[in-house]
Amino acid sequence: MTDPSAPDAAAGASEDRLAADATAVDTVEEMTVLVVDNYDSFAYNLVQYLGEVVTTADWLPEVADGEVVVRRNDAIDVAGIRELDPDAIVVSPGPGTPEEAGVSMPIFSDLDYPTLGVCLGHQALCAVNGAPVRRAEAVVHGKPSTVGHDGRGIFANLPDRLEVGRYHSLAVERADLPDCLTETARTEDVSGSEATGGSSDERSESDGEAGVVMGVRHDDRPHVGVQFHPESILTEHGKQMIESFCRAALEGSL
């Protein structure tokens, strides 16, 4: 926590960081985002959001242009990604396990590009860093959950609690997270007063079990993951999350 007795120093550091971030964005002439498609139709919802962000975001300079490149998980390798040299990578949802998802795991083990893993991509990030991916206690497909988050990175400037769309039968347990991964979001306790909307029974049916890991951030590498789907119609502020990811990728603030 910031020392409250030294507000001037904290404010100065914050101003310096914001100035550096603004410079980083202002020097961008174009933004290239690679989407690794894990053979999932949701990938193209992500592509649509990303395409809108990198071509219309008002925080990009007017001269900036953007491109979203899509490659199937078996149509590009680590060397190909290095050759493409994207500004950011999004690893999409998909069927199966991380080990079956082509280049998805090597992206997190071998590369340091700013990367967002979604659902299966999130599981790949966790698996690479030693967290076992297990069958979830409650299989959740196409249902909303209330999620609390840390307000950083892709969750910046969002309400403390959000409704998000979940579509998964696998999950990572909090107790299994390695030291290098910080939990950034989890499902709320549906039996407590913090959960909002509907009766307790309705929320329990909708949310599945409480306390499920919904987001992680690597402590030393620019890698983040979310178990839910930002691109789903069930997710509140999903496009804003994608925009925050893109901006944080350019600013180096994931």
The pLDDT value recorded for residue 28 is 59
Mean pLDDT, all residues of the chain: 84
Of 193, 118, 96, the residue nearest 107 (C-alpha): 118
CA dist., res. 173 & res. 157, Å (int): 27
Largest CA distance in the chain: 55
Amino acid at 160: D
Q: Which pair of tokens denotes residue 154? A: 């892709």
Confidence of residue 192 (pLDDT cuts 50, 70, 90): very low
CA dist., res. 3 & res. 5, Å (int): 5
The pLDDT value recorded for residue 136 is 87
**Is residue 34 a contact partner of residue 90, using CB atoms and an 8 Å limit?**
yes
Radius of gyration, alpha carbons of the chain: 18
In the chain, the percentage of residues whose pLDDT exceeds 70 is: 79
**Is residue 124 a contact partner of residue 106, using CB atoms and an 8 Å limit?**
no
Q: What share of the chain is helix, strand, coil (3-state, %, to 5)?
A: 35, 25, 40
Give the residue numbers marked as catalytic: 119, 229, 231
Taking domain 20-251, whether its CATH number is 3.40.50.880 is answered by yes
The pLDDT value recorded for residue 1 is 25
Confidence of residue 155 (pLDDT cuts 50, 70, 90): very high
Confidence of residue 57 (pLDDT cuts 50, 70, 90): confident
Q: What average pLDDT score do residues 61-75 get?
A: 85
Domain boundary assignment for the chain = 20-251
Predicted TM-score (pTM) of this structure: 0.82
Instruction: Name the strands in the sheet holding 181-187, side by side, starting at the edge strand that comes first in the sequence.
Output: 65-72, 30-37, 88-91, 115-118, 223-226, 213-218, 181-187, 134-149, 161-171
Q: What average pLDDT score do residues 191-220 get?
A: 58
The pLDDT value recorded for residue 107 is 99
CA dist., res. 250 & res. 254, Å (int): 9
- pLDDT at residue 125 tops 70: yes
CA dist., res. 1 & res. 214, Å (int): 24
- pLDDT at residue 191 tops 60: no
Amino acid at 133: V
Quick: pLDDT tens for 13-23. 333 433 444 44
CA dist., res. 153 & res. 148, Å (int): 14
Confidence of residue 26 (pLDDT cuts 50, 70, 90): low
**Is residue 229 a contact partner of residue 185, using CB atoms and an 8 Å limit?**
no
Alpha-carbon torsion (151, 115, 137, 239), positive or negative = positive
Q: Which pair of tokens denotes residue 223? A: 């890698």
The H-or-E segment that residue 187 falls in is strand 181-187
- pLDDT at residue 70 tops 60: yes
Amino acid at 249: A
